[in-house]
Structure 1
Amino acid sequence: MTRNHKKPLLYRKANTTAHIVNFHHKDFNDERHTKIREKRLAFDHAREHMNSSNSGIGRDYTPLFKFLLAKVGEPWAAVYAEAVSRLDKPEPVFWMVQLRQRELSSVVRMGENSYYSGLYVDDAGLLQVVDPSASEATQVPSCSCCTHTFNGKPFARAATSSLETKA
């Protein structure tokens, strides 16, 4: 008996850390009239087939970003091939990896408070970090009420308020 040693996907299907997440899942158990319920279910079913592009709902690509950071210095062709084979679509790779010189950014924002090192492919075809000196110690959060992360690590510096900068 052989086992399939398939590598894990580079995304999660739902955000498991969020509170009260509802991805258009409707529960009509508290409805009084079954005819109304049947009409709504039929409408939802028809709408779902008309626009079935909900593939991005509830996707967390944090594993992909960590995978790309771990592959810095390796040949881009091999990294890209492995990443795409473990993803639902190839676009998220290019949220972090910039292929054009004019688009290079040392820090890339993913979501509200998550930041990652910008990556690019050098002339030798290797995956590289745009600014190796960027770290969680060099980043300054925009507010003090949220936890900001850089490459998965919380920012080391505290947010500066507008009152402190005027003094």
Structure 2
Amino acid sequence: MDKKPLYRKENTRTWGVRRNALVAQYRDQRNTKSENRSDAVRGSMHAGKRYGMDYTPLFRFLLSRVGGNWDEIFSEAVSRLDRPEPVFWMVAIYEEDREEVVRLGESSYFNGLYVDQQKRLQIVNPALKAEDMAPRCQCCTHTFNGVVFGRQVGTD
């Protein structure tokens, strides 16, 4: 039985979806026929970028597997992904890369994870909770592990 992928495609062609504000600044320059421009400038602006992927199912999958064997978790995650890089947005393999909170989107925050000495997936700071966090602005709905922040802007 095939398991569902740990990512989903988002519609990026809908009106109002902004991928990158910098693209508009260079849109007209990129296609000019100026003779003094090099061939390197005429290439694609963001050749390696992939738009329209939402990895929230992956992040929830990783949080649900805390305490488990890292090799098994990683193997299952990679088999259900289009590429392995998103796993390491949240999981730190080396101690110096550990972060308590990881921002993975416009206003989505998650616990930072790491692999301990026994090859177990662990939370960097398990005491963090959404009800203790306050957003930086009022315009967005900020979430921590999928739960809306508990405090309002400016309440410290």
Residue 89 of structure 2 corresponds to: 95
Q: CA RMSD in A?
A: 2.3
Residue 25 of structure 2 corresponds to: none
TM-score by length of 1: 0.71
Q: Write the mapping of 1:18-167 to structure 2, written as runs, cut at 5 A.
A: 20-21=16-17, 53=47, 56-160=50-154
Answer yes or no: is the 8 Å Cα contact 1:10–1:86 preserved in 2: yes
Q: The residue matched to 2:7 in structure 1 has which SS?
A: coil
Amino acid of the structure 1 residue aligned with 2:76: E
Amino acid of the structure 2 residue aligned with 1:60: D
Amino acid of the structure 2 residue aligned with 1:7: K
Determine the C-alpha separation between the residues in 2 that align with 1:59 and 1:113: 16
Residue 40 of structure 1 corresponds to: none
Answer yes or no: is the 8 Å Cα contact 1:15–1:60 preserved in 2: no
- 15 and 128 in structure 1: CA distance in 2 versus 1, 3 angstrom threshold: farther
Q: Which has the larger radius of gyration?
A: 1
Deviation of 1:21 (Å): 3.4
Unaligned runs of 5+ in 1: 24-49
Greater than 2 Å deviation, 4+ residue runs: 18-23, 50-55
Answer yes or no: is the 8 Å Cα contact 1:7–1:86 preserved in 2: yes
Question: % of aligned pairs identical?
Answer: 49
Residue 8 of structure 1 corresponds to: 4
Amino acid of the structure 1 residue aligned with 2:124: V
> Would you say how many aligned residue pairs link Structure 1 and Structure 2?
131
